[in-house]
């Protein structure tokens, strides 16, 4: 799962909710990858390169 987090995720409560949601998703066998809006908007090529490195090609 890929999530792009905006400023609303910067509060302590939001970080706690994100952590709990991540733990639930991981319990289902999912990997969670998070990026900040700023990273996607200003370093898109780096974000894509990172995703290419962790997401297996289809079909594996």
11-43 confidence digits (pLDDT tens): 888 889 989 999 999 999 999 999 999 999 999
pLDDT recorded at residue 29:
93
Q: How far apart, in whole angstroms, are the C-alpha atoms of residue 57 and residue 38?
A: 26
pLDDT exceeds cutoff 80 at 10: no
pTM: 0.73
pLDDT exceeds cutoff 70 at 60: no
Q: Are 43 and 36 in contact (CB under 8 A)?
A: no
pLDDT exceeds cutoff 80 at 48: yes
Alpha-carbon distances, residue 22 vs 15, 25, 31, 43 (angstroms): 10, 5, 8, 24
Length of the chain: 60
Q: How far apart, in whole angstroms, are the C-alpha atoms of residue 4 and residue 39?
A: 9
pLDDT exceeds cutoff 80 at 59: no
Q: Which two tokens stand for residue 58?
A: 């289809």
């Amino acid at each position: 799962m890929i999530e792009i987090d905006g400023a609303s995720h910067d509060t302590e409560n939001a970080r706690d909710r994100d952590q709990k949601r991540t733990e639930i998703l991981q319990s289902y066998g999912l990997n969670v990858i998070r990026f900040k809006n700023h990273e996607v908007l200003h370093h898109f090529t780096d974000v894509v390169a990172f995703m290419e490195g962790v997401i297996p090609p289809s079909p594996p």
